[in-house]
Chains A and B, each alone.
Chain A
Amino acid sequence: MRRIVLYLLISVLLIILHTTLMKYLAIGDIVPDILVVWIVYVAIRDGQLAGTVTGFSIGLAIDLMSGVDGMLGLSTMAKTVCGFAGGYFFNENKTFQTLGSWRYIVAIVVTSLLHNVIYFIIFLQGTPIGWSGAVLRYGIPTTAYSAAFALLPMFVFLRKYSS
């Protein structure tokens, strides 16, 4: 129960950070998706179910905050898939080894790419903008930036695990 409350608080804090301060870390129009980093962390730490529920809740909150007409449910879907996919990297006996290794970065890259592909396929429906071009131009740089951002918690866990 305590962990659920803690996760809820961290999620709210990260959503606020994501919507207010992350623009200061933008390189051009590319911003790291710290929410994907967090969802994958939860999935690796507590399994697929926790990852899915966290992804769903965070996605829904982002959809409600985005103010973009006609796309409520888009981030909900993309982030739910992200949490579910992140759960495939869950290993109950090797949680900290996973978080403190390149497996965590690989999980971020895979889930973030999946997230962006789903996002752009639906978001760009009915427009002349091709989703594959958008993934190349925005999705892959966002994935790379998020993965680079995830190096920070990875090294923290690596240090923690080694000690």
Chain B
Amino acid sequence: MKKLLDIVSAFREYIVFTLCILIAIFLLTVNDGPQIRAIRSITIVSIGFLQGALAFIPNYFDLREEHRILRERNLNLSSEVSLLRESRLENIRLRHLLGFKERARQHYISANVVGKNTQLLRNTITIDVGESDGVKVNMPIVTDGGLVGKIIATSSGYAVGQLVLNKDFRASAKVQRGRVDGIIVWEGGDMLLLKNVARTLDVREGDVIQTSEFSNLFPPGIRVGVVSEISQKQGALFQTIEVTPGVDFNRLEEVFVVRHQPDTSRMAVENRIGR
């Protein structure tokens, strides 16, 4: 027994190290259980509270630039609003004529970004609204610039959002002008990629990319970004389409959570045939 204790004592660093690694591996394999979700919910509340308390610290270097950008955007939006008013009236008239069903307006929950985790590709944000405000997992997050991401975890007063610039993010999208469908993914860097677009289809630089009707998570028509570069590799079936996101993720301060829930009847029928 003493000999065994001596051996354990002599190799204690290695034994503890092995135990810690085994626990880490165990956690990696069983980490989506209800207990873990409950612990995470508690940590989101605590860290969200702290981040919220410290959110008053302004980033002075950015304020001036932000002011300039906002003034510029305000000017552009004013002229766009008047054009859109005209278009909306025209749209209403045409819808009535065609007997189209009026699409339900989306309801938004405004939120402040109290924490940002862009370290080592984690790319998530913490916002100061949660379940008590009606926020649920998988609800889309947007700004005036377009799609920001989706909710992946909630607590009563806070929620964590997965950014579009995240390795796990996928969204069905389409080219606004040409109605070409694809899938928006991120593979590192500042750009997004529109994947699965055949090389014969018409996509041009400057085309606006928006969420499509194929997505069950995101309502159609949310702006994602603008096509900035198209390349075609020899022998490849698909084009490589780079999309500049519409949202400036470095200046993300206020966002809106869209009260949009997946259409369960649609999901049920799609699941029934194994889609």
Contacts and interface: CB of A to CB of B under 8 A. Distances in A.
Nearest to A56: B20
Given A67-B40, A87-B13, A26 B54 contact: no
A53 B24 contact: no
A84 B47 contact: no
B167 A20 contact: no
Interface residues of B, number: 46
A71 B122 CA distance: 10
B59 A72 contact: no
B165 to A, nearest CB: 9
Interface residues of A, number: 53
Interface stretch (A101-109, A121-129, A155-163): A121-129
Interface string A5-46: 000000000001001111110100101010000000000000
Given A19-B115, A73-B28, A76-B23, A67 B160 contact: yes
B40 A142 contact: no
B186 to A, nearest CB: 8
A38 to B, nearest CB: 15
B24 A67 contact: no
A80 B24 contact: yes
Contact of B20 (A20, A76, A87, A134): A76
Given A84-B17, A137-B188, A72 B27 contact: yes
A120 B167 CA distance: 11
Contacts of A69: 32, 152-153, 168
Contacts of B187: 127-129
B43 A134 contact: no
A123 B121 contact: yes
28 contacts: A19-B50, A20-B54, A22-B119, A33-B119, A47-B13, A48-B17, A49-B12, A55-B20, A64-B43, A67-B40, A67-B44, A68-B160, A68-B162, A70-B32, A71-B28, A72-B31, A73-B23, A73-B25, A76-B23, A76-B24, A84-B13, A116-B120, A120-B121, A127-B168, A129-B121, A129-B188, A137-B188, A142-B120
Interface of B: 12-13, 16-17, 20-21, 23-29, 31-32, 36, 39-40, 43-44, 47, 50-51, 54, 57, 59, 115-122, 124, 126, 152-153, 160, 162, 167-168, 185, 187-189
